[in-house]
Each structure stands twice: as C-alpha cells, then as structure tokens.
Amino acid sequence: NNATVLVVHAGLMPDTKPEDNSLTTLTTMRSVLSCNGFSKPSAKAGETPWAALWNGPETVVFGHDAARGLQIHPKAFGLDS
C-alpha cells in the first residue's frame, strides 16, 4: 500500500491539488463557503467542513479547528479536541 498522508496546519480546498493551495488556505481554512456556484476557503467554523468534502487521493491530518473537536472523515482527520 503506497498511501500518501499529508499533514497541514488547517486545511486544503477540495478538488484542488495540495500543491496548488495558497499558504493562507493551508494555515487558516476551516470550511468551504459556496458562493454563486463557486467554492472558496473560509476561516469560519459555521460553514461546511472542508474535510467532509476531501476525497483524496491523499489522506490529510490537520488541526486549527478545535471548535468542531475530533473530526474523522474517510480521507481527513482533524486532531483538535
């Protein structure tokens, strides 16, 4: 099994290659905000968790979202609690 695991401070935009995410996204993102048919990163916890939308192929371990506590998704794990 050659599974790739990434560790990021905050999050990644779903449907975007990890290397194409901005430093701001990697360090502040908690959610995905839908606006006019487009998705954009959001630091707010009240929107859809980015990790719930992440389909990989990489598995991501992240923090920066203690308000939601432990998050376990198929391809992403939030360790803040």
Q: Give the model confidence (pLDDT) of 20-72 as tens digits.
A: 999 999 999 999 988 766 677 887 767 899 999 999 999 999 999 988 899 99
Measured CA angle at 20 (ends 11, 32), to 5 deg: 40
**Tens of pLDDT, residues 4-16:** 999 999 999 998 9
From residue 67, give the alpha-carbon distance in Å to each of 1, 21, 57, 80: 33, 23, 26, 8
Q: What is the model's pLDDT at position 74?
A: 96
Q: How far apart are CA 39 and CA 25, in angstroms?
A: 13
What is the sign of the dihedral through the CA atoms of 26, 27, 33 and 37? Answer: negative
Q: What is the model's pLDDT at position 3?
A: 79
From residue 78, give the alpha-carbon distance in Å to each of 36, 56, 57: 28, 15, 17
Q: What is the model's pLDDT at position 39?
A: 74
